[in-house]
């Protein structure tokens, strides 16, 4: 089979080889997410696979910086193997001895493969992929590095005891909870970003992004925000906790009633760690969602080792799992062929 792999780090290089749609996608990726290289696989002049690589400013695993592979798509296993092998060789040449993916350069962005779960329909902002892509990566030598899950409540019913306990936890911590203020959206987002950095910077494979990128992506979500479902917890006027829950608007696109809310992000400041504030915010979000007419809640995309999973198990059942994969780049380095 005639496979040709080209490496490009400039959208102008890609323009000469690919159609305009690929060119525009590559340009936006480079401007907003700054990959260190973009790889495209061509078969007889047609695009059959692509990915991007990151090796600068990547997090460490077992004491060594990793390389990351994201922006991935492939038409078949042969194309997948060709582009992934070349990506690993490229990372090895940059002294990144472990390749991790799919991840678009940071856990702030799109990452992980989704599994079938119970074949439930995708929810808003859930990563999706063809069913064979994880197997294509496995055939290229990748194996699971971390696993994640989404869970769903069986029903949002009144739980006065849990709501009272949640309020007591926050009151004892000196915390006041208020809704997101749409009239001050920019100021709210700035404060949320600072809290998320403080809360998440010790998370698995954490890598920072620029605040402007966070603001760009968050502004795109503002039309979907219901202020009473996005909770800001303050102590002495400072933001110390945050929960974002969004309606599953994909239900409406499928012609269904929007009766599900997605608990997308829960974060508490390190000063509140261990006091139960995260669980209290989830309980309050459930209660407010119930009052707004929602029947179910999804706890989205939780790392299996995080506190969020323990909180979720109190009221929700896992319905889909996800995986992040990794492999050594040493074999690819031996095969060479990287420029």
pLDDT in tens, 56-106: 999 999 999 999 999 999 999 999 999 999 999 999 999 999 999 999 999
How far apart are alpha carbons 318 and 338 in whole angstroms?
42
C-alpha 76/C-alpha 175 separation (Å) is: 53
* SS3 (DSSP) at 162: helix
CA atoms lying within 13 Å on the CB side of residue 228: 9
- Contact between residue 94 and residue 55 where contact means Cβ atoms under 8 Å apart: yes
Work out the pLDDT band at 162, boundaries 50, 70, 90: confident
Residue 3 is predicted with a pLDDT of 47
What is the pTM (predicted TM-score) of this model? Answer: 0.88
Domains and CATH numbers, the chain: 4-147+324-335 (3.40.630.30), 156-294 (3.40.630.30)
The pLDDT of residue 160: 67
Residue 59 tokens read as: 């997090």
pLDDT score at 273: 84
DSSP state of 75: S
**CB distance 242 to 266 below 8 Å:** yes
Distance CA 144, CA 153 (A): 27
Helix spans in 173-257 (H): 185-200, 211-221, 250-253
Q: Is residue 169 over pLDDT 50?
A: yes
Using the predicted structure, report yes or no on whether residue 23 has a pLDDT greater than 50.
Answer: no
């Amino acid at each position: 089979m005639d496979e040709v792999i080209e490496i490009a780090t400039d959208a102008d290089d890609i323009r000469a080889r690919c159609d305009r749609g690929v060119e525009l996608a590559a340009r936006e990726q480079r401007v907003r997410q700054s990959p260190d290289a973009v790889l495209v696989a061509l078969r007889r002049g047609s695009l059959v696979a692509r990915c991007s690589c990151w090796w600068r400013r990547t997090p460490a695993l077992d004491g060594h910086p990793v390389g990351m592979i994201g922006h991935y798509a492939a038409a078949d296993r042969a194309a997948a193997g060709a582009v992934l092998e070349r990506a690993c060789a490229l990372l090895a040449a940059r002294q990144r001895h472990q390749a991790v993916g799919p991840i678009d350069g940071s856990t702030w962005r799109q990452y992980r493969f989704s599994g079938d779960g119970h074949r439930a329909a995708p929810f808003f902002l859930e990563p999706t992929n063809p069913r064979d892509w994880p197997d294509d990566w496995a055939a290229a030598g990748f194996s699971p590095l971390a696993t994640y899950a989404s869970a769903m409540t069986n029903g949002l019913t009144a739980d006065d005891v849990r709501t009272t306990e949640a309020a007591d936890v926050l009151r004892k911590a000196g915390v006041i909870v208020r809704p997101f203020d749409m009239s001050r959206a920019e100021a709210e987002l700035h404060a949320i970003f600072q809290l998320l950095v403080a809360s998440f910077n010790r998370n698995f494979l954490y890598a920072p992004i620029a605040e402007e990128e966070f603001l760009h992506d968050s502004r795109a979500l503002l039309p979907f925000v219901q202020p009473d479902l996005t909770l800001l917890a303050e102590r002495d006027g400072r933001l110390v906790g945050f929960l974002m829950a969004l309606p599953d608007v994909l239900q409406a696109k499928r012609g269904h009633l929007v009766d599900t809310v997605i608990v997308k992000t829960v974060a508490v400041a390190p000063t509140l760690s261990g006091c139960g504030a995260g669980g209290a915010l989830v309980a309050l979000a459930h209660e407010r969602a119930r009052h707004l007419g929602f029947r179910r809640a999804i706890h989205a995309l939780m790392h299996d080792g995080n506190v969020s999973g323990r909180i979720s198990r109190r009221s929700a059942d896992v319905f889909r799992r996800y995986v992040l994969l990794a492999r050594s780049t040493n074999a690819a380095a031996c095969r060479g062929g990287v420029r």
